[in-house]
Amino acid sequence: MHPSNLPAWKRSVARAFDGAEGYDAAALVQAQAAERLAAAIAREPLAAAPRILEVGCGTGLLTAALRARQAGPMIASDIAPAMAARCRARFAGDPDLRVLVMDGERPCLAPGFNLICSSLAAQWFADLPGALARLAALLAPGGLLAVATLAEGTFREWHAAHATLGFAAGTPAYPPAEALGTLRYPGCTTRLSLDPIAETHADGRAFLAALRAIGAQTPLAGATYTPGTLRRLLRRFDADGARVTYVIATLMIRRLG
C-alpha cells in the first residue's frame, strides 16, 4: 500500500518517523533490542543463504546486526519513505540487499521467505494478530518469523505518574504477555520470551525529547496535555527517577517443514 493511501493514524506515524533525523543517536534501546533479536535469530536453524524479509527496518539497526551474521538475499522494508531511504543509503554497497517502502501489515510480496524479522516496529500495527498471520503465510516450509515488539508493562513508570494524578497516558496499550503467548497460526509453532530493558533519562523532558528524536511521539487519538498538566506529570515522573522500562516480547513463529 502506498503511503498516501494509508489510514490517517498510520500516515501520522510514517510522517513522524520520516522526520526523525536524530534517530540513530537517540535509539539506544532500539539498538539493544535489534542486537538481541539478531543474536536470537543466529541461534535458530535456518536454510543456507536464506531469503530474508525485514519489516520496519528504520535506518537499518537490525539490518546491520543481521548482515554481520548472515549472508543471503534480503529485502528490508519500512512504512516511512525517509527511513527506507536512510537504510538504502547505509547499505548501498550490498548487492544482495533491496530496500522498499511497504506497510508491514499488508505485505505486497510473494511467499517463500526463510526468515522474516522485525524489531520494535510491530507495536505500531493496528491488528497485530492479523499482521502476523499474513507475514507467517509468506514463510517457506521450515521458515522463521522472528518479531520483537512491546508488551504490557512498557513505560509503566510514565503510566504510574499519570495514574497518581488521575490521568490516562497517551501511549498505546501494549498487549499483555498472556495474549501474545496464545497466538497460534496454522502449520506453525510459536514461542514467546520476555526481555525488559530499562532506560534512565536526565529528566522527563529528556524522555519526551528522546521519543520525538526516534519518531515515536505519535499519541493516541484525542490524547492532549495542557501546559500545566504536563508540568505536573513531569514533576511526578522526575521524582520517581525519570526511569522507563521497555518490555520486549519476542515471538518466534516457525512454519513446519
Q: Tell me the average confidence (pLDDT) per consecutive run of 10 residues in the chain, 257 residues long.
A: 60 68 84 97 94 97 96 95 95 96 95 98 94 98 98 95 88 92 96 96 93 70 72 94 97 96
* Confidence (pLDDT) at 221: 46
Residue recorded with cell 514461542: 191
Sign of CA dihedral 175, 36, 125, 9: positive
* Confidence (pLDDT) at 226: 82
* Confidence (pLDDT) at 219: 53
Alpha helices (H) in 8-121, listed in sequence order: 8-18, 23-26, 28-42, 61-67, 81-90
Euclidean distance between CA atoms 237 and 103, whole angstroms? 34
pTM comes to 0.90
* Confidence (pLDDT) at 198: 95
Structural domain spans, the chain: 3-153+172-197+247-255
* Confidence (pLDDT) at 140: 98
Q: Which CATH architecture has domain 3-153+172-197+247-255?
A: 3-Layer(aba) Sandwich (3.40)
Euclidean distance between CA atoms 214 and 241, whole angstroms? 22
CB 158 within 8 A of CB 207: yes
* Confidence (pLDDT) at 7: 66
Euclidean distance between CA atoms 118 and 182, whole angstroms? 19
* Confidence (pLDDT) at 214: 82
